[in-house]
Amino acid sequence: MKQVVFGIFAACILLTACSTGGSVSKGIKGILKRSDCKGSCNKTMDCEGKSLTVEMALANNNIMIAGNTIFARDPDNFDYTIKVEFSSAIPVEMYSDIKNPINKKFVVTGIVEGYDQYIHQVCTRSYILKVSKPEDFKVFTD
């Protein structure tokens, strides 16, 4: 009996330790560390087409806005950018003021879409989060 319980316990630990990181990532580095998003260009990663939540700090002017898209750069390393694309169901007012200095972070949930991008002459797999519901985007002041 003890061997069965130990076997189940060991399996639970292994499954948790070998997970792809769950559905929440802390910043761009969190996305890049995920085993299901890490990979080479010209290849569709396992995270693509799935829902992912990203919590991103707002610092060092790391946000740009163009149309219905936010370009978020890692506050510590501007080499990598993720795009957050909002559907027409998301009111512009929800994200148009994101660069206001009182804002400290945002949390977004969207469907991941990948594309190849060259950074310093090296191809990197980059990502777009497609947001379709207003409740999937929140900006926080603290």
For 2-23, the pLDDT digits (tens) are 554 434 443 333 333 334 445 7
pLDDT at 98: 95
Query: Is residue 2 a part of any domain in this protein?
Result: no
- Burial call 86-116: b when 16+ CB within 10 Å, e when fewer: beeebeeeebeebeeeeeebbebbbbbebee
d(CA 45, CA 114): 8
Residue 130 CA to residue 110 CA, distance in Å, equals: 5
1 occurs within a structural domain: no
**In-domain check, residue 95:** yes
| Residue 48 within any structural domain of the chain | yes
Which amino acid belongs to residue 63?
Answer: I
Q: Which two tokens stand for residue 129?
A: 């989060």
Q: Which of 90, 137, 112, 95 is nearest to 31 (CA)?
A: 112
The answer to whether residue 17 sits within a structural domain is no
| Predicted model pTM | 0.78
- Is 5 among the domain residues? no
Per the structure, the complete domain to which residue 135 belongs is given by 22-140
Q: How many domains does the chain fold into?
A: 1
CATH classification at residue 52: 2.40.50
Residue 121 falls inside a structural domain: yes
